[in-house]
């Protein structure tokens, strides 16, 4: 939906860093925000698409797709399923892209933000876009797997959206360096602050 190359992500924190001028603020002088703070930044957690996986895992999912297509073909012959129903895409007809959750975190300029992403957590989830009124493009994505990008391994996920949010917050380097801010973030989101056993 975008005229440039793009990557899906989860926004973890939005912040500005104090500039050199901001370290020497004179209380008697009126400053503009941009005089003492740098540009708006986003800390994001990348969600990989299948094309970003390593070759071994790419082949695995390609083999799975071939098996699914062969199975659907067999079912059509055996029970004569309606053609329109049988040809439904495995990711759901309202799904634009398949994504993989990761722990890959980076900081980017806020101007790089292009649109909104809505994540389906299960194959059969229905996303109703009829009442959406956004001025930016919206991508509907299916996320059923976690990709360990360093180990190059895949974990299947069984979870609710709150667990995805929590994993993202726990990946945040900005929040991990500021315990007070981390606790305030969980409180603001109405989420239980994780204990040591939760983290494990």
Which pLDDT tens digit goes with each residue over 138-176? 888 888 888 888 888 888 887 667 788 888 999 999 999
Q: Residue 200: which residues within 8 A CB-CB, separation 6 or more?
A: none
In contact, 48 and 102? CB cutoff 8 Å: yes
Task: Give the mean pLDDT of 44-67.
Answer: 82
**Model pLDDT, residue 73:** 66
In contact, 82 and 103? CB cutoff 8 Å: no
pLDDT > 50? residue 134: yes
**Model pLDDT, residue 41:** 93
**Model pLDDT, residue 48:** 92
Give the SS3 label for residue 55.
helix
Choice between 71 and 126, residue whose per-residue pLDDT is larger = 126
Best CA proximity match to 21, nearest among 9, 13, 31: 31
**Model pLDDT, residue 92:** 36
């Amino acid at each position: 939906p975008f005229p440039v190359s793009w990557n899906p992500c989860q926004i973890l924190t939005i912040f500005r860093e104090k500039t050199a001028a901001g370290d020497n603020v004179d209380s008697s002088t009126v400053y503009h925000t941009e005089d003492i703070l740098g540009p708006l930044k986003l800390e994001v957690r990348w969600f990989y698409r299948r094309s970003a996986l390593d070759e071994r895992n790419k082949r695995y999912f390609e083999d799975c797709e071939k098996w699914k297509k062969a199975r659907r073909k067999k079912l059509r012959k055996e029970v004569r399923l309606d053609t329109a129903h049988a040809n439904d895409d495995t990711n759901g007809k309202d799904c634009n892209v398949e994504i993989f959750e990761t722990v890959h975190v980076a900081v980017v300029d806020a101007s790089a933000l292009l649109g909104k992403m809505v994540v389906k957590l299960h194959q059969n989830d229905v996303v109703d876009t009829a009442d959406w009124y956004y001025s930016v493009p919206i991508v509907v994505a299916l996320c059923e797997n976690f990709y360990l990008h360093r180990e190059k391994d895949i974990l299947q996920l069984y979870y609710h959206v709150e667990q995805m949010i929590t994993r993202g917050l726990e990946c945040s380097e900005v929040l991990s360096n500021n315990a007070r801010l981390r606790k305030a973030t969980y409180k603001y989101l109405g989420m239980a602050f994780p204990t040591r056993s939760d983290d494990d």
